[in-house]
Amino acid sequence: MSENTNPVPDAELAALDRMVGTWKVTGGAEGTVTYRWLEGGHFLVQDIDLEQYGERILGMEVIGRERPFGAEQASVDIKSRYYGHKGDTLDYVYELEGDVLTIWGGEKGSPAYMRSTFNETGDVLSGAWVYPGGGGYETTSTRITPADR
């Protein structure tokens, strides 16, 4: 993360630093995603270029703690919002416990989620999206470029 005068992010958010870099995604969606920190280290940005079910998916996601206008405290959960090239916005909650990353669709505890596990070197993340009523898919992300530090 870049050096600056902003407060140091908390340990739970800083743990997502292992995502920084470009990843090749295979499985139910194919393509690349790139993670990078915004200056200050409070928000992780994901740039998305995937194909799923024959359709291209372009977008970006901002991941961090919400702190609405006037709020003194940031949110307990690490939240994100995805912005897609077709105008869609999707909200998620990120939870990293050890080597297991869970991305909840909407709110924590949602029946729609992705649960993946990092390998020993941290360069492969494998798991699956689960959707209520079925339709989920397995996915593997493999780091293709190291973090730009």
Per-residue pLDDT tens digits for 27-69? 999 999 999 999 999 999 999 999 999 999 999 999 999 999 9
Strands 89-97 and 124-130: unpaired
Residue 116 within a domain = yes
Quick: pLDDT tens for 69-128: 999 999 999 999 999 999 999 999 999 999 999 999 999 999 999 999 999 999 999 999
- The pLDDT, as a whole number, for residue 1 is 45
Note down the domain range covering 108: 11-142
Contact yes or no for 22/143 (Cβ under 8 A): yes
Q: CATH number for the domain including 103?
A: 2.40.128
Q: CA-CA distances (angstroms) from residue 42 to 51, 52, 71, 76, 119?
A: 29, 30, 16, 14, 26
Q: What is the pTM of this model?
A: 0.90
- The CA-CA-CA angle for residues 93, 94, 96, to 5°, reads 150
Number of domains the chain is built from: 1
115 burial type by CB count under 10 A (0-12 exposed, 13-18 middle, 19+ buried)? middle
Residue 18 within a domain = yes
